[in-house]
Amino acid sequence: MARGFAVTYRPLYFLSALGMGGLAISFFVYLMFLVPHPGEPIPNFSHIAAVYDGVGTLTKVLVAIDLALIAYFALRHVQLLVRNILAYRGFARSAEFAEFRQTNAEVSLLAIPLTYAMSVNVAFVLGALFVPGLWGVKEYLFPFALLAFAAIGAYAFGLFGRYLTRILTHRNFDIEDTNHFSQVLPSFAFAMIATGFAASAAMSDTKTYVVIGLLGTFLFFAASVSWIAIKLPVSFGAMLRHGMATEAGPTLWMGIPIFTLFGITILRDASGIAHTLLHTTIPAIVWLVFFGLLVAAQVVMGLTGWAIMRRQSYFKDYIRGEKRSIAAYGLICPGVAVAVLAQFFIHWGLVSTNIVAKFSPIHLALLAVVAVVQIVTIATVVRLNRKLLGRSTSAPGSLARTGNDEPEAACA
């Protein structure tokens, strides 16, 4: 039993670190759209310094609060990442690990490269905001970013390849234990890696880095979409036969962060192609339609999942109640994803097209809705951390399910 975890350690615990990193990014998005950064794709240290050289006490206070939140959640991300790495190393050396890798739960190992990819994104944001002059040498940093995502991508493909070849060659995949969307987790990981490659495609001024970023994006985007197309019918068919697995309820929302990642990836790639390769611009109305459709898809998926989980008393039992499930951390990324994609829709879709005036009452009201989503997400994180990151009282080697019947594959 790994210390510092309230139930028997499983790789799904990496989702705790993933959620913290996502929250840091969600607060960065405010700065990206509200702090002026002419000529640059994202704000950096010099733009933040310009805010404090100007006038407006309220603006300075709000920026300071936002920076503090970014730093706090980034720090928590690193803390939980290190804790998970140490715990996973112990788990990987145990006899239980060999048995774990012969079950459907093996797919949950993809939570590791998923979280590593988030770590690179968090480091990128921290460097841009808090290190003076770093953005000025960004062209020297993009090769390292590309190498990092290539290494993470290779690791993800290695884990996924072993899992896929095992279930296809040994035929020991439990087809009935798929009445949830846990098996779509590889698509989430591949989408996160694709988004990382797309950062170089959008932000580099060097054509070579842009093209490499595009090619990396295409590879992992294709992998993500392909696995979704394969696994969704299987999981949905199992749900029709057996009903939704209650303890895996958060997997109903896994598509929400995937939609956000797809949206950001396509935006970055399109921007890189338009600005660096074609030297043109994309009409703002395109992004109104594009992000509007993605937000609508998230709303539909969110309401459907909420209705099912509410009917099954998931929130009552696993969030407010005493039942413990590591898969509950899968609720954090959807909250983060909704907040992030909503900001892209608001600013790229509504403000850029002059449908909504910047800092108008409607604009501020929309941002208030985003803030409410973040507050609810943070409150959920606090509850889950209290339940799932406490010191364990169970015996070493026990399943420590503490009242829940969580399937090992119930990842989100």
Give CA–CA dist 7/389, Å, rounded. Answer: 8
Q: 6-30 b/e with 16+ CB inside 10 Å = b?
A: bbbbbbbbbbbbbbbbbbbbbbbbb
Q: Check pLDDT > 70 for residue 408.
A: no
Write out the H or E segment, with its range, that includes residue 35. none
Of the two residues 318 and 178, the one the predictor is more confident about is: 318
Backbone angles phi, psi at 312, to 5 degrees: -90, 5
Residue 372, judged by CB atoms within 10 A of its CB (0-12, 13-18, 19+), counts as exposed
Q: Check pLDDT > 70 for residue 161.
A: yes
pLDDT digits (tens, 9 = 90+) for 368-385: 999 999 999 999 999 999
Of the two residues 394 and 165, the one the predictor is more confident about is: 165
- Going by C-alpha positions, the residue among 243, 241, 132, 110 that lies closest to residue 183 is 110
Residue 11 contacts residue 112 (beta carbons within 8 Å): yes
Helices and strands of the chain, counted as H and E runs: 13, 0
Residue 111: CB partners within 8 Å, gap ≥ 6?
A: 11, 12, 14, 15, 18, 185, 189, 411
Of the two residues 89 and 3, the one the predictor is more confident about is: 89
Per-residue confidence (pLDDT) for residue 406, from 0 to 100: 42
Q: What number is the average pLDDT over the span 122-142? A: 94
Q: Kindly report the pTM of this predicted structure.
A: 0.92
Q: Check pLDDT > 80 for residue 411.
A: no
Confidence of residue 350 (pLDDT cuts 50, 70, 90): very high
Q: What number is the average pLDDT over the span 31-40? A: 92
Q: Check pLDDT > 60 for residue 403.
A: no
pLDDT digits (tens, 9 = 90+) for 284-315: 999 999 999 999 999 999 999 999 999 999 99
In sequence order, what DSSP letters do the residues of 131-184 get, joined into one string?
Answer: STTGGGGHHHHHHHHHHHHHHHHHHHHHHHHHHHHHHHHS----TTS-SSSGGG
Residue 260 contacts residue 340 (beta carbons within 8 Å): yes
- Going by C-alpha positions, the residue among 306, 301, 378 that lies closest to residue 339 is 378
| Radius of gyration, alpha carbons of the chain | 21
Residue 410 contacts residue 245 (beta carbons within 8 Å): yes
Give CA–CA dist 111/118, Å, rounded. Answer: 11
Q: Check pLDDT > 80 for residue 335.
A: yes
Per-residue confidence (pLDDT) for residue 2, from 0 to 100: 63
Per-residue confidence (pLDDT) for residue 162, from 0 to 100: 94
Least confident of 29-33, 205-209, 311-315, 405-409: 405-409
Residue 259 contacts residue 345 (beta carbons within 8 Å): no
Confidence of residue 237 (pLDDT cuts 50, 70, 90): confident
pLDDT digits (tens, 9 = 90+) for 245-273: 989 999 999 999 999 999 999 999 999 99
Give CA–CA dist 384/382, Å, rounded. Answer: 6
Q: What are the residue ranges of helices labelled H in 55-137?
A: 57-92, 95-100, 111-130
Confidence of residue 405 (pLDDT cuts 50, 70, 90): very low
pLDDT digits (tens, 9 = 90+) for 174-230: 777 888 899 999 999 999 999 999 999 999 999 999 999 999 999 999 999 999 999
Per-residue confidence (pLDDT) for residue 391, from 0 to 100: 53
- Going by C-alpha positions, the residue among 14, 115, 119 that lies closest to residue 74 is 119
Q: Which amino acid is at 214?
A: L
Q: What number is the average pLDDT over the span 73-86? A: 97
